Structure 1
């Protein structure tokens, strides 16, 4: 009996030592050419520099209501909660894959009561027999060609991709809350302009009606004044609809029912946005911060590992099966002599399926090339979004400057036109045209202020920042107010 045992031990040792290598390509992170990742962002508008990007960028607006809304959304948003659940699922599946290195087993308890037929019955044997069996059966796959290791690599890479996507959702939600809040502020500011203009138009209409009674104006002038008032008032219903839509969107972002949500009072927007210089970092830092780039890189790692999983199908599958237990004809007969054991190495090789396996390998290699191209495309889109956001910020700043000048000029023209008409100089048509231009320019100014704030949000969204704040102590980024809190790695 010693010789077979020695052979078995030698056989198992050979398998274990041979299992140090895994078939298929080993993953190495992709490197991009300098043409794809420039050293800097090139010429950027004034107000941007290459310092390290701020983590909680929304605090630069000095708006406590905005900060509170973003923190509430990070804790309660359902998209974040679903992304966190997907991370939890992926990590659990990675843990299951790691269990492949360990033996599988089960406890088996059985009782057999058998009655032999006349054909089966041998002389001297009882017709009825009983067998009691209790055993622990186990099997262990020897990872000779790395199938299990590649499976673990793929599962862990998928978990890393899901974690990166969670960070992307957190950053996106923070940007969406800020954008919705600024849109709401802009609508409220536009409503205030409409209310002020409407009050001015009512005064003008009253003036024209008094002049009409005195014979100094015509019915045509009164109708024109009334039409201008109604034109200003007609804007209100649409603005209120847009405001309700923004409040509802904000409620959903915060994980609350729109019917019961109450938005905090919006503070009036300043004439210009007083922000510190916006730090944008450099393209290399952008690649490490963008969650979609990190997710694409982990997807590439998973696709590379799956090539090894399919390649292992070309080689034998080696397992060791064993069992140890007790077998007796009755419960009274259970003793040391009833111990039963089995140890059996098993080799399975489906060499006749090599054509199918090679087809699956070719398919996995194609998916790996697709994942690499997707990664490169994600990098290029990140650079595109950053450059677009920088250009939009510069354009928004220039537009706001022009709108400020235009609005100031039109407001002065309207004042002078009303003063001249009240003094009996000029015609009322001049007043109407001046007030119409004043109304349009003041609304355009409000839109320009809002657009400048949205441009700042777009920069931080393109930079992929904000999720880093989830690593700060005391900030809940779990989403849905009840899912496990998955925070960004330090």
Structure 2
């Protein structure tokens, strides 16, 4: 009768659905808003084109050396190695949770010495033994294990997205460090050209002074200009060195083991064509941090089911077999025992605790949804800001290029006029100072322009798509 009742209960529970809500992306999530999926407000500039962003966006520069550096970094970067290890751990957690729905076994064995006493007299003891094998298979009628697996898989997918986000950052920072080092070399070359010009001016001024056509004051001002230009060089070298150390570290090398040919890189990578940026819908699909937040939300939703399943009995099919009794009867048929039937456990007395756990899981899911929305909004903000900053810097760079050309012409004219005595020395110094400033501003803008490009590509979230799950 007892066995039939347990079987009937098992059949009744077999009709239960999986506990908790089935996950679906909430309609009210920010990613579903038309404004989030449409074209970027800052993307209407001539600097951009509504075309898909290539997975390997750094190849748009057409720089084989940059391609090689990024490839090496993606293979050897220490942060990426740590992210890979985190992903392997998350996958192992999924495997551990999934193993909860497989057959479990248990072996037991032991001996005991039983001895009784009458009127204080000791009697010889009887040595007993117990050997047993137990098997149990969880039916998971309430879906507790299934929801736990869903949660673990969501966590693992979030970790995978975090790994992809590290890849995005590594690729972007390699390009940035490479561009910074090359720009520093370009600035050094510009400074050296200006310095050579000022030194020639100083030489001419000294000869004019000796010939009675110049003054000591002119010589002092010319020497001061030379020294001021020379003072800019150490800072630029320090900037280049820091960028090279950063590049080596990103590539998994010791800082001093940076690529030696980088000290001769003459100019940063350039891309003068419109940048392909796609739209908001493509950004949402591509950004790893958005994907990580969405997977975290899915895992949190599954944990509501894990908590809800505790309201129902946990049923397993089990059996046990073994031998027990005095050692003297070891192996006899009378010592054998066998048991079969469902095993039921239920935390019925703790229902208030379970309801509290369900409330906690629901609140965690609400928080995960809020974080998902916040991540999406931040991604859109970063992208819009990066697009705007790049477009404005492109305009500024074009203006500075024209200003540098004009300053170079004026400095050349002032130098020839001064040599023929048709202008004063102050006019020459003013023209040369204007050229120095214009060249420095243009070089800084060239560096900033590449930096802004990298910001755009990083905000768009490209560069992780060709990683395969281990």
Contact 1:111 1:131 in 2 (8 A): yes
CA distance in 2, matches of 1:116, 1:415: 118
Q: Does residue 389 of structure 1 match 2:382?
A: no
SS class of match (1:71): helix
Q: Does residue 134 of structure 1 match 2:136?
A: no
Alignment equivalent of 1:145, drawn from 127, 142, 145:
142
SS class of match (1:131): strand
Deviation at 1:361, TM superposition (A): 2.2
In the alignment, structure 2 segments of 5+ residues that lack a partner are none
Deviation at 1:145, TM superposition (A): 2.2
| Distance verdict in 2 for CA 1:260–1:103, change over 3 Å | same
| Distance verdict in 2 for CA 1:14–1:339, change over 3 Å | farther
In the alignment, structure 1 segments of 5+ residues that lack a partner are 472-485
CA distance in 2, matches of 1:103, 1:359: 31
- 1:95 is aligned to 95
**1:89-488 mapped onto 2 (5 Å cutoff):** 89-118=89-118, 127-265=124-262, 266-269=264-267, 273-319=270-316, 321-327=318-324, 329-330=326-327, 333-343=330-340, 345-471=342-468, 486=469
- 1:80 is aligned to 80
CA distance in 2, matches of 1:36, 1:121: 92
- 1:475 is aligned to none
Deviation by residue 1:249-270 (Cα, 9 ceiling, x = unmatched): 1122111111333454253227
- 2:38 is aligned to 39
| Distance verdict in 2 for CA 1:182–1:39, change over 3 Å | same
Contact 1:393 1:452 in 2 (8 A): yes
SS class of match (2:467): helix
Alignment equivalent of 1:27, drawn from 14, 23, 26:
23
Deviation at 1:355, TM superposition (A): 2.9
Name the Cα RMSD after superposition.
2.5
| Distance verdict in 2 for CA 1:21–1:289, change over 3 Å | same
CA distance in 2, matches of 1:384, 1:86: 29
Contact 1:76 1:254 in 2 (8 A): yes
CA distance in 1, matches of 2:3, 2:309: 29
SS class of match (1:314): coil
| Distance verdict in 2 for CA 1:260–1:39, change over 3 Å | closer
| Distance verdict in 2 for CA 1:199–1:268, change over 3 Å | same
CA distance in 2, matches of 1:69, 1:117: 84
SS class of match (1:106): strand
- 1:483 is aligned to none
CA distance in 1, matches of 2:103, 2:117: 40
SS class of match (2:322): strand
TM-score, normalised by the number of residues in structure 2: 0.91
**1:45-60 mapped onto 2 (5 Å cutoff):** 45-60=45-60
SS class of match (1:37): helix
Return the structure number with greater helix share. Answer: 2
SS class of match (1:235): helix
CA distance in 2, matches of 1:363, 1:141: 26
CA distance in 1, matches of 2:414, 2:70: 46
- 1:474 is aligned to none
Deviation by residue 1:214-237 (Cα, 9 ceiling, x = unmatched): 111111111111110110011112
Deviation at 1:274, TM superposition (A): 4.1
Contact 1:57 1:466 in 2 (8 A): yes
Deviation at 1:319, TM superposition (A): 4.6
| Distance verdict in 2 for CA 1:284–1:430, change over 3 Å | same
Contact 1:132 1:331 in 2 (8 A): no
Deviation at 1:339, TM superposition (A): 2.5
CA distance in 2, matches of 1:336, 1:51: 80
Deviation at 1:173, TM superposition (A): 0.8
